Structure 1
Amino acid sequence: MTAKKLLPFFFLITSVNFYFSQEVTIKDDKVLLDGKQILRAEKINMIEYSFFTLKDDEEILMYKMMDSGTPKYSNDDYYVLNFLTQKTKVESSDFTKILNFMNSKKGIEKLIKWLLKEKVINSDGELNPDRLEIFKEKYDENITDRTLR
């Protein structure tokens, strides 16, 4: 194919991607999806966030970054996603999905986008237990159980 034929195809694919992308922002402890609040967020400190449902204000997710007891050495850092109502933990050292340099709020927005993309959380802020199981299978590294303490 020539470049002239590929260019319109590229623009079509790119525009479809922008059309279906969802805007997630955190503002005043509200998790907004395309301007509509779906969860309530509570920043505990720089490395911990909790998320609550709007319906009954139940805590459904707690995010926490762990330094493995070595604050000056970051190669063993990981994070824990604790889905409290489902009694499920996901531990991962892959920060590429959520990390945003020196801006914890942007990182948490990336986390929510990731959970929406994986359909763990739906557009109403509700957890999907079946998708959570799949998410755990895909991303859980089981760090605590395989680490000697």
Structure 2
Amino acid sequence: MTTKRLLAVFILMISCNLYFAQDVTIKDNKVFLDGKQILKAEKISLAQYSFFSMKDDEEILFYKYIDNETPSYINDDYFALNFLTEKVKIESKDIGKVANFMNSRKAMERIIKWLLKERVLNQNGEINPDRLTIFKEKYDEDITARTFR
């Protein structure tokens, strides 16, 4: 490879990383993206969070961590993302996507970053239904349907 091509590839890689290196913080029940508030948040418990639209204060996303009634056995734990306005529920055992050593605020910040990266949420905190469909196809494991009670 020539030096110019190598430099072009390097610059492209850095620009992609900078694009996804958005600063998401949750403070005082507000979700900020690069300093601009995009959503409202409510911590219900250590295992539950709700996110609300800035436009009409409607609950758009509900997160819940489910331990399957076996708190000491983590191999059957999963989380659910309920996109309430779109009537879409996503269940996944990939706890690594959201885990942050029991710091629920940091875990929620990771979820918002993930949704932004996957373009499920746009820069204004609005849900993109087309990208949500793709997100569901990629990550939904439909755990409830496979669970016997």
Q: TM-score under structure 1 normalisation?
A: 0.90
Which residue in 2 is equivalent to 1:62? 62
1:17 is displaced (CA, Å) by 4.0
Residue-by-residue CA offset, 1:46-95 (whole Å, 9 max, x unaligned): 00000000110000000000011111111100000000011110000001
Which residue in 1 is equivalent to 2:80? 80
Q: Percent identity?
A: 62
Superposition pairs of residues 99-110 of structure 1, within 5 angstroms:
99-110=99-110
- Unaligned regions of 5+ residues in structure 1, if any? none
Task: Give the partner amino acid of 1:75.
Answer: N
1:8 is displaced (CA, Å) by 6.1
> Is 2:38 the partner of 1:43?
no
- Three-state SS of the structure 1 residue aligned to 2:50 is strand
Which residue in 2 is equivalent to 1:134? 134
CA distance in 2, matches of 1:104, 1:78: 15
- Three-state SS of the structure 2 residue aligned to 1:131 is helix
Task: Give the partner amino acid of 1:121.
Answer: L
CA distance in 1, matches of 2:65, 2:92: 10
* Comparing 89-98 and 7-16, the one that deviates more: 7-16
CA distance in 1, matches of 2:54, 2:36: 12
Residue-by-residue CA offset, 1:26-49 (whole Å, 9 max, x unaligned): 011110000000000000010000
CA distance in 2, matches of 1:134, 1:145: 20
Task: Give the partner amino acid of 2:38.
Answer: I
Task: Give the partner amino acid of 2:112.
Answer: I
Q: TM-score under structure 2 normalisation?
A: 0.90
Which residue in 2 is equivalent to 1:20? 19
> Is 2:92 the partner of 1:92?
yes
- Three-state SS of the structure 1 residue aligned to 2:105 is helix
- Unaligned regions of 5+ residues in structure 2, if any? none
